Structure 1
């Protein structure tokens, strides 16, 4: 396993061995730095003799509900991730927003009046000729960009391999294709972009001897989606082509090694609303949503809570007048605790990082995460 290294100015350098990183920390030549992905990383105190880097590729296997990401160099597998995308959450909230809008418009218009006397508002612009991305697909792609942006601050990324899809049939418009085109334009800012199709990813995965779990794709294990991210990243170092004038085969060399595996998702925090959807009996609606609590914590903060000689670690998910709600990585409430018995560990970064486990990609089919953080 390799440890990411930063220069004194914050420039990503080539990762180093764990034993060398421990020696540098013991001798005071480096210090531990924190990043939003929870990857153990060090920063040098003094400038190194050389800052030369080797190619490092990031493979992204985008999906509708889950995305797999892998970071690979020619000799080492550096990092794996399983992204739980917010597609269903965003789609449900957009449907609720449309329903609330229809309700407000229905209450505003007096339908007992003739049509030409009703309070109809004329359209301000033509909203039927815009190439907008659906909010659910945009939220998926933005989470991938967020992780890729953090990786660019940790590793010296040179290439990005992105799996593309093609719309089937006689469809004149495909939201998936629009979101894919928008994403490819954004990814270009992080390195050379290599576009691969699904069958090419499968061929590379088979050549590397990696196993993919095609049933129960919701399992947060490397074998479901992260394995495709590794295969895509390896496409930078190996290709299928002409070996000589009469032979076709695989050219190049890459080595798969054990690497940390992480599950990432966004905290499902509701946006601030002026009031609840259903009025209270008194006619006054209490405020709802938002990220700030009345006790100084933010929703998504990683905290440590104590209650009855038991200690819990989780994320702030809500509050009452005197208590703060703390939830686990699946956003299930662990309990409500007094604000005086909660200690802040890390401010919210907009990401929930679950336990990191070192797995061997060759044995990905049998790897899984522990149930608790």
Structure 2
């Protein structure tokens, strides 16, 4: 956000639930392997219990699900800093009840603020401050979290950006005193993007159910047998039909191509699939709607002295 225009809006689909489920599955598989290795007919002191290789009680690591969320946010902010001359980053600080050092949210915030400080100057503010400014800007926040729209997911981010341009400051006159909003900002229609990681499964050396004969099939991973990687943007042709999509899988002779929602468009012969761009590990969808009205015009904020304009 700049004083004269809204430059970019986005919603990040965080990988928290996917990473949480995969860690649960990994833990279950690991316990199964350990259970099969130990012979419980032996005395406990003679069983094949592996000794610890390192101290895993350092208490300075993030849970994988929280780390994945913060890394995706950092990746997007880093790309935005390359596109725009970012002067300051405003981060909404959440206070957790109870022990602050035990809360994964609080620990994740501390790590994230350290990462962001290497990109630009960082300022924090609390949620109630964001809510007050959002009311003053007349921005309406939708409660339908399933809708991937600016009103649902980008309103608070826009308000945070405007907090550096519109401030709640004290004033004094001959007869009264108090606080008022001062600043200059103009909100305009902007590009809105939905950003997420490509839903690619990690490579598994050992599947949960052993295959017959002891040979387990290939599962997961980013590589294919045809010179492209999963997540690459490709152009594919079949029976006169040409599609552009993302590589999502492969067989011995074919490459699977999917759309932006990772719904498979078809399986194409590898020789008729050409690479357009390598994977950036991000899937970006959404575009500017030319008929979209301005989010808000702020006639009462056009004067920097804190007064109201004539058309308020």
Match of 1:313 in 2: 244
Secondary structure at 2:117 match in 1: helix
Mapped partners of 2:167, 2:131: distance in 1? 13
CA-atom RMSD in angstroms: 1.7
Match of 1:241 in 2: 169
Match of 1:206 in 2: 135
Q: CA deviation at 1:343?
A: 2.6
Query: 1:181-213 CA distances to partner (integer Å, 9 max, x unpaired)?
Result: 100111111222111121111111111121211
TM-score (norm 1): 0.75
Match of 1:154 in 2: 83
Richer in strand (by share): 1
Match of 1:163 in 2: 92
Q: Which of 21, 43, 46 is equivalent to 1:92? A: 21
Larger Rg: 2
Equivalent positions of 1:1-373 (< 5 A) are 72-169=1-98, 173-214=102-143, 216-244=144-172, 246-358=177-289, 359-360=292-293, 362=295
- Report if the CA contact (8 A) 1:210-1:361 is conserved: no
Provide structure 1 residue ranges, at least 5 long, that are not aligned to the other structure: 1-71, 364-373
The aligned length equals 291
- Report if the CA contact (8 A) 1:275-1:287 is conserved: no
Mapped partners of 2:170, 2:201: distance in 1? 54
Mapped partners of 1:187, 1:174: distance in 2? 20
- Report if the CA contact (8 A) 1:212-1:224 is conserved: yes
Query: 1:111-158 CA distances to partner (integer Å, 9 max, x unpaired)?
Result: 111111101122233323422101011000100100110111111110
Match of 1:22 in 2: none
Mapped partners of 1:361, 1:228: distance in 2? 17
Q: CA deviation at 1:171?
A: 6.6
TM-score (norm 2): 0.89
Over 3 Å counting, the alpha-carbon distance change for 1:171 and 1:190 in structure 2 is closer
- Report if the CA contact (8 A) 2:140-2:155 is conserved: yes
Mapped partners of 1:180, 1:252: distance in 2? 29
Mapped partners of 1:115, 1:189: distance in 2? 51
Secondary structure at 2:71 match in 1: helix
Secondary structure at 1:335 match in 2: strand
Query: 1:260-282 CA distances to partner (integer Å, 9 max, x unpaired)?
Result: 11111101212222232221112
Q: CA deviation at 1:361?
A: 5.5
Q: CA deviation at 1:247?
A: 2.6
Mapped partners of 1:134, 1:222: distance in 2? 29
